[in-house]
Amino acid sequence: MTEARARLDPHDVIADIDRRIFGGFVEHLGRHIYDGIFEPGHPAAGPDGFRQDVIDLVKELGVSTIRYPGGNFVSGYRWEDGIGPVDERPRRLDLAWHSTETNEVGLHEFAAWLDEVGSDLMMAVNLGTRGTAEALDLLEYANASAQTAWTDRRAANGHPDPFAVTMWCLGNEMDGWWQLGHRNADDYGKLASRTAKAMRMLDPGVELVVCGSSGRGMPTFGSWERTVLEHTFDDVDFISCHSYYQERGGNAQEFLASGVDMQKFIESVVAIADTVAATKKSDKQIMISFDEWNVWYLFDDDGGQNDKPEEKGWPVAPRLLEDQYHALDAVVFGDLLITLLQHADRVRSASLAQLVNVIAPIMTEPGGPAWRQTTFFPFSITSRLAGDTAVRVPVDAGTFTSERFGEVAKVNAVATTDADGVSLFVVNRSTTDAADLSIDLSALVRELGRDVTVVESHVLHEDDRYAANTLAEPDRVGIRPLTDVRIKDAALVATLPPVSWAAIRLA
């Protein structure tokens, strides 16, 4: 048993939480769109072809914004292919995922789906095979209210009012050798700056995200951010971070240190952005859009790529990146969410990549059911319970030794506050030891002038940490109440089993 001691002081504020931190990501990739959210003829599909059972699950998940249409896909995408009469839209070869894109779903259809799920659109423009002019065309089509050729066309396509998209990504992963139109940092920075300036001339209210590194392990990480921001600092609001995690070689304890990697990634990018600000003698703070993050089993244990789309021909909606998540994955996933909240002062937007079928919390079967993967639960509960303000909860619980990061805290936690109460999110990273958790609430009780009570508690833990939800057993893993959680002598007391994630709501 590990003794975990902590203190929750409502004045130890990190920042107000931007709800866009609970964003998602939908890409034209595999069965995400087709046979995922969109399946005409399915018993649960409406007249528009979108599955209502999937809509209900996405609403339950609680995603605030959704980044679209990519991802690698966007670097070869002609957005005009996705507007106008569906039967007149061209079929195209998607080089990113070696598939055939039918363009049955485009901007109008996706915006209508977002209205159904209650999320806002975060749009990416193609700066891979296209440039500033095409980005301006899309922005004018989406946001302009003046009568122009593009807005006349938008009205003719059934949407006379602007889509009013606020947040725009200036390309995707332009540091990556795999990216169509890949450029070095200097060339990309110049293009992003030109495009950003032009977009602001058309719509001064847009918020712009410039591409950061597609991973902390990229050879150009650090130098890429510095060079790109030297070009774009005055033009953009955010720089992106992308990071994926997986268990390697059966080393679950090392996998459970993934949140430390995310922490170091965020803090490094913040330091670089602030250094650029200092050289420009500016008080401006560039925020982080962590607009791709998840657990993704991209590589096998030998370092080879698991899915190889180029070996499948040019199919429509092939099964790609359909990872099956187990309980261990969900605990790491919950810890990543805690890490994002711990950096809410600079992480003002984040996008879980992705939502349906493709490395996703939601799975579907063509003509069949939809179900929740294990990672669904930490996201849906955190997005529902998280309040207005993030608060530090430093925990003293000892450490374990990580090959990459040295000594890593066994227990990690964060809290949020709002007018109605406090939500605590905590993870036990140890593979062997339960944690005897005691959190001093005396500062909170003094602030409120009255006692607090536990109104709900949840824990995700399985004795078999590789248990998963599948088509055959969709409810094998779930959330259960955290037993024996109580308030005792102005302290929150609970026991967390090894490899567990928990959420506790106090009122």
Asked if residue 326 is part of any domain, the answer here is no
Asked if residue 324 is part of any domain, the answer here is no
pLDDT interval class at 437 (50, 70, 90): very high
Name beta bridge partners: 7. 440
Summarised one tens digit per residue, pLDDT across range 369-380 is 999 999 999 999
Residues 361 and 500 in one domain: no
Residues 133 and 36 in one domain: yes
User: Model pTM greater than 0.85?
Assistant: yes
| C-alpha to C-alpha distance for 489 and 438, rounded to whole angstroms | 11
Q: Which two tokens stand for residue 28?
A: 């034209």
- pLDDT value at residue 389: 98
Question: Which helix or strand (DSSP H or E) is residue 407 part of?
Answer: strand 406-409
Asked if residue 323 is part of any domain, the answer here is no
Residues 349 and 415 in one domain: no
Asked if residue 352 is part of any domain, the answer here is yes
Task: Please give the angle made by the CA atoms of 325, 97 and 312, to the nearest 5 degrees.
Answer: 90
| C-alpha to C-alpha distance for 124 and 293, rounded to whole angstroms | 16
Among 27, 173, 225, 247, which one carries the catalytic annotation? 173
| C-alpha to C-alpha distance for 348 and 366, rounded to whole angstroms | 36
Name beta bridge partners: 350. 290
Residues 117 and 221 in one domain: yes
For residue 439, give every residue at least 6 positions away whose Cβ sits within 8 Å of its Cβ, in sequence order, or none: 5, 6, 7, 8, 393, 413, 424, 491, 492, 493
Point out the domain boundary residue: 353, 369, 385.
385
Q: Which two tokens stand for residue 172?
A: 């995707």
| Angle between helices 132-143 and 149-156 in degrees, nearest 10 | 50
CA 318 to chain centroid, in Å, comes to 23
Decide which of 302 and 8 is more confident: 8
| C-alpha to C-alpha distance for 172 and 178, rounded to whole angstroms | 11
Residues 43 and 90 in one domain: yes
Q: Which two tokens stand for residue 470?
A: 């599948």
Residues 353 and 434 in one domain: no
Residues 368 and 396 in one domain: no
In three-state secondary structure terms, 427 is strand
pLDDT interval class at 124 (50, 70, 90): very high
- Quick check: is 292 catalytic? yes
Residues 359 and 443 in one domain: no
Q: Is there a contact between 504 and 484 (Cβ–Cβ < 8 Å)?
A: no
Among 101, 140, 247, 292, which one carries the catalytic annotation? 292
Residues 347 and 464 in one domain: no
Residue ranges making up the domain that contains 476: 2-9+392-506
Query: What radius of gyration, in Å, describes the C-alpha atoms of the chain?
Result: 23
| CATH number, domain with residue 497 | 2.60.40.1180
pLDDT interval class at 158 (50, 70, 90): very high
Question: Which helix or strand (DSSP H or E) is residue 486 part of?
Answer: strand 486-487
The two beta strands, 287-295 and 347-353, are: parallel
- pLDDT value at residue 308: 81
Asked if residue 77 is part of any domain, the answer here is yes
| CATH number, domain with residue 220 | 3.20.20.80
- pLDDT value at residue 448: 83
Domain count across the chain: 2
Average pLDDT, the chain: 97
Residues 167 and 271 in one domain: yes
- pLDDT value at residue 100: 97
Asked if residue 422 is part of any domain, the answer here is yes
Q: Which residues of 340-363 are buried (b: 16+ CB within 10 A; e: fewer)?
A: bbbbbbbbbbbbbbbbbbbbbbbb
Residues 404 and 425 in one domain: yes
Residues 424 and 481 in one domain: yes
Question: Which helix or strand (DSSP H or E) is residue 95 part of?
Answer: none
- Quick check: is 173 catalytic? yes
